[in-house]
Amino acid sequence: MSFGAYIPRRRLDRQAIAEANAWANPGLVGTARGQRAMCAHDEDSLTMGVAAGRAALMPHAGKRSVSSLRFASTTMPFADRQNATLIGEALSLPPEIRTADVSGSLRSGVGALLSAIEAGGTGFVIAADNRQAPPGSAQELRLGDGAAAILVGSGELIAEYVDSHSMSVDFNDHYRSREARFDYVLEERWAREQGQFEIVPKLIAALLEKADVAAADLQHCVFANFSAQEARGIAKRCGIDDAAIIADLHDKVGDTGSAHPLLLLTNALQSAEPGDFILLLGYGHGGEVILFRATDRVIEARSMIGADDLLTHGLTDRNYLRFLSFNGLLPIDRGMRAERDNRTAQSAFYRHRQTVTQAIGGRCTACDTPQFPRTRVCVNPACHATDTQEPEGFADKRASVKSFTEDWLALSFSPPLMYGNIRFEGGGVAMLEFSDFEPGELRVGAPLELAFRIKDIDEKRGFRRYCWKATPPGVCTALSKSENTPHG
Three-state SS letters, 127-165: EEECCCCCCCCHHHHHECCEEEEEEECCCCCCEEEEEEE
Backbone CA torsion sign across 246, 129, 481, 62: positive
CA-CA distances (angstroms) from residue 154 to 129, 157, 162?
Answer: 28, 7, 13
Query: Out of 149-158, 198-207, 344-353, which region has the weakest mean confidence (pLDDT)?
Result: 344-353
Cβ contact 251:310 at 8 Å? no
Evaluate whether 478 touches 450 at the Cβ level (below 8 Å).
no
- The CA distance from 393 to 421, in Å, is 18
Write phi, then psi, for 230 (nearest 5 degrees). -65, -40
What is the rounded distance in angstroms from the CA atom of residue 66 to the CA atom of residue 54? 13
As a residue count, the chain comes to: 488
**pLDDT tops 50 at residue 482:** no
Answer positive or negative: Cα dihedral of 194, 195, 200, 202. Answer: positive
CA-nearest of 92, 54, 49 to 449 is: 54
**CA–CA dist 379, 377 (Å, integer):** 6
Q: Mean pLDDT, the chain, as a whole number?
A: 92
Other CB atoms closer than 10 Å to residue 382's CB: what's the count? 7
pLDDT at 21 over 60: yes
For residue 306, pLDDT over 60 is answered with yes
pLDDT of 407-434, one tens digit each? Answer: 999 989 999 999 999 999 999 999 999 9
pLDDT for residue 487 is more than 90? no
Confidence category of residue 339, pLDDT binned at 50, 70, 90: confident
The rounded percent of the chain whose pLDDT value lies above 90 is 83
Q: At what angle do helices 228-238 and 197-211 cross, to 10 degrees?
A: 50
481: confidence class by pLDDT, cuts 50, 70, 90:
low
Question: Pairing between strand 315-317 and 10-13?
Answer: parallel
Does pLDDT of 486 surpass 70? no
| Half-sphere CA count of 267, side-chain side, radius 13 A | 21
**End-to-end alpha carbon distance in the chain:** 21
Phi, psi of 406 (to 5 degrees): -110, 105
Predicted confidence at residue 62, as pLDDT, reads: 63
pLDDT in tens, 156-177: 899 999 999 999 999 999 999 9
Return the bridge partners of 449, or none: 471
Query: Would you call 302 exposed, middle or buried from its count of C-beta atoms within 10 A (0-12, 13-18, 19+)?
Result: middle
Q: Which residue, 481, 471, 477, is CA-closest to 10?
A: 471
Residue 61 pLDDT > 60? no
CB contact at 8 A, 435 and 40: yes
Confidence of residue 479 (pLDDT cuts 50, 70, 90): very low
- Provide the percentage of residues in the chain whose pLDDT is more than 70: 96
